[in-house]
């Protein structure tokens, strides 16, 4: 049976193409929460940590309903998606997100959401990204997303299977999150809250403990695709290096010497969306020979007085990030920090022996975490295989055969609805 292929605009209404302005928002527990790009994880799930609230005037235009789909429109998060569930009501979408509301007669929004987790969707997003400048996809471009659309009952059967598989990933993610929560708690125990500095550590400017700092390398696209590893914005994720994808660039000897990364360097993102600019990670010896692109800053510490793991964790904390970004500059929807902002950032500086004790704890926790990565990888491979089978029709072939008569009737009804709305609802 051949499923019809439809464009997203044929089954949805396109909402506002920019979410509400969440700048300066806080959390009190009394108003609807904002959903920002940074509140959505790599699986499209909503994060609770760091949630903030919406202003009253934002609610009417940007309120989310059950089944609404959000798509990220700019930066290295382009293509990220989120499906809203009533359990997270009331919520308002913010920032660089676009809302689509589906026609429930034609599509189960969970089916469309799962399609946005598939390799086919990722390939489509990559083909649409702007080559020059910051990646960007607007609502009109997302509206042209084309995908297979089985009858509604078959969509729901596919969703039932994928939800079960996704639940296994969720449990794995929850276990990982529990492990990640250990380090912030340990940091507070050893050093106290960095905002109040209850242990009275001396506060110093970051510039006084730097041996060197440098903006990254810019090379024309013609030099990419071969040569030395180069770390970009997307290689910094949640305070750690994300090495699932590493680009390569052709360099001469002088460039390699000037921009080489060494174990213990801290890489800070200097250009990004306001929520993501300033993210950082420590370079590990396992990376091997690598350099870094122009949208990042390399910090090299005086390790006689400062330990990189301690400094990076401070900068990744909510207080440290706010301190680092006090001089944030805005331009064309993006935010930037510079070397002066980095050097002027104030941080509490415990004795080096305390910092080294912290680094040893971090290494121990991450060694345990690495031993669980293989199980998480196996679950991910299983889910990807199910996604592939789902959108090629293989996953429900036997079920479809048993329900063919009912499906044929439903597909004819679906075809009539699609014919009555050929140009979409937006």
Assess whether the previous peptide bond of 308 is cis (omega < 30° from 0): no
Q: Please count the structural domains in the chain.
A: 2
Condensed to tens digits (0 to 9), the pLDDT of residues 394-413 reads 888 888 888 888 888 888 88
Q: What is the pLDDT of residue 128?
A: 81
Domain region containing 35:
5-153+375-419
Instruction: With beta carbons less than 8 A apart as the criterion, state whether 68 and 100 touch.
Output: yes
370 domain-assigned? no
- Assess whether pLDDT exceeds 90 at residue 254: yes
Report pLDDT for 111. Answer: 96
Q: What percent of the chain has pLDDT over 90?
A: 52
Q: What is the pLDDT of residue 156?
A: 93
> Which string of b and e fits 405-417 if b means at least 16 CB within 10 Å?
eebeebbeebeee
Q: Is the pLDDT of residue 357 over 50?
A: yes
Stated as kind and residue range, the H or E segment containing 210 is: strand 210-215
pLDDT tens figures, 321-351: 999 999 989 876 689 999 999 999 999 999 9
- Gap between the Cα atoms of 214 and 235, Å rounded: 18
Is residue 163 domain-resident?
no
DSSP 67-112: T-EEEE-BGGGTT-EEE--GGG-SEEEBSSEEEEEE-TTT--HHHH
Report, as an integer, the average pLDDT of 212-228: 94
Name the pLDDT band for 426 (thresholds 50, 70, 90).
very low
Mean pLDDT of 16-36: 79
Kindly tell me if the per-residue pLDDT of 303 is higher than 70. yes
Looking at the structure, tell me whether residues 147 and 206 fall in a common domain: no
Same domain, 213 and 295: yes
32-41 per-position pLDDT tens digit: 888 988 888 8
Q: Are residues 137 and 87 in the same domain?
A: yes
Cα separation, 93 vs 112, whole angstroms: 19
User: pLDDT at position 211, please?
Assistant: 96
Report CA Rg, the chain.
24
209 shares its domain with 264: yes
Whether residue 268 is predicted with pLDDT greater than 70 in this model: the reply is yes
Are residues 52 and 105 located together in one domain of the fold?
Answer: yes
44: left (phi over 0), alpha (psi -120 to 50) or beta: left
Task: Output phi, psi for 253, to 5 deg.
Answer: -65, -40
CATH of residue 267's domain is 3.90.220.20
Report how far residue 309's alpha carbon sits from residue 297's, in angstroms, rounded to the nearest whole number.
Answer: 16
Please check whether residues 383 and 332 belong to one and the same domain: no
pLDDT band at 424 (very low <50, low <70, confident <90, very high): low
pLDDT in tens, 115-164: 999 989 999 998 886 655 567 889 999 999 999 999 999 999 999 999 98
pLDDT at 280 over 90: yes
Mean pLDDT of 276-303: 95
Same domain, 127 and 55: yes
In a shared domain, residues 121 and 208: no
Closest CA to 338 of 385, 392, 382, 299: 299
Domain assignment present for 272:
yes
What's the Cα-to-Cα distance from 104 to each of 12, 66, 154, 235, 408, rounded to whole Å? 9, 11, 14, 38, 19
Task: Quote the mean pLDDT of the chain.
Answer: 87
> Does residue 254 form part of some domain?
yes
Residue 66 CB-half CA count within 13 A = 4
């Amino acid at each position: 049976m051949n499923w019809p292929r439809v464009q997203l605009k044929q089954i949805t209404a396109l909402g506002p193409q920019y979410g509400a302005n969440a700048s300066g928002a806080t959390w009190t527990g009394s108003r609807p929460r904002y959903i920002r790009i940074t509140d959505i994880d790599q699986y499209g799930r909503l994060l609770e940590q760091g949630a903030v609230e919406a202003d009253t005037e934002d609610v009417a235009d940007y309120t989310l309903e059950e089944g609404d789909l959000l798509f990220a429109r700019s930066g290295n998060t382009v293509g990220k998606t989120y499906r809203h569930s009533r359990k997270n009501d009331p919520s308002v979408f913010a920032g660089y997100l676009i809302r689509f509301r589906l026609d429930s007669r034609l599509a189960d929004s969970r089916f469309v959401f799962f399609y946005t987790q598939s390799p086919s969707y990722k390939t489509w997003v990559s083909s649409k990204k702007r080559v020059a400048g910051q990646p960007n996809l607007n609502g009109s471009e997302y509206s042209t997303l084309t995908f297979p659309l089985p009858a509604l009952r078959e969509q729901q059967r596919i969703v039932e299977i994928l939800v079960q598989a996704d639940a296994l990933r969720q449990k794995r993610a929850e276990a990982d999150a529990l492990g990640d929560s250990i380090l912030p708690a340990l940091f507070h125990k050893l050093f106290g809250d960095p905002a109040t500095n209850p242990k009275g550590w001396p506060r110093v400017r970051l510039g006084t403990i730097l041996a060197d700092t440098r903006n990254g390398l810019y090379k024309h696209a013609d030099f990419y695709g071969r040569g030395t590893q180069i770390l970009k914005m997307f290689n910094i994720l949640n305070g750690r290096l994300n090495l699932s994808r590493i680009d390569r660039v052709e360099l001469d000897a002088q460039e390699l010497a000037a921009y080489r990364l060494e174990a213990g360097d801290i890489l800070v993102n200097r250009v990004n969306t306001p929520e993501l600019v300033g993210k950082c990670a420590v370079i590990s010896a396992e990376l091997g020979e690598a350099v870094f692109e122009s949208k990042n800053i390399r910090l090299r510490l005086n390790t006689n007085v400062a330990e990189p793991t301690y400094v990076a964790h401070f900068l990744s904390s909510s207080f440290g990030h706010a301190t680092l970004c006090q001089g944030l500059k805005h331009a064309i929807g993006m935010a930037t920090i510079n070397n002066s902002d980095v050097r002027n950032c104030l941080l509490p500086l415990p004795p080096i022996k305390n910092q080294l004790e912290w680094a040893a704890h971090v290494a121990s926790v991450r060694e345990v975490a690495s031993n669980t990565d293989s199980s998480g990888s196996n679950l991910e491979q299983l889910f990807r295989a199910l996604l592939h089978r789902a959108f090629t029709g293989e996953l429900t072939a036997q079920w479809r055969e048993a329900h063919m008569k009912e499906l044929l009737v439903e597909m004819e009804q679906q075809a009539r609805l699609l014919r009555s709305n050929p140009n979409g609802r937006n």
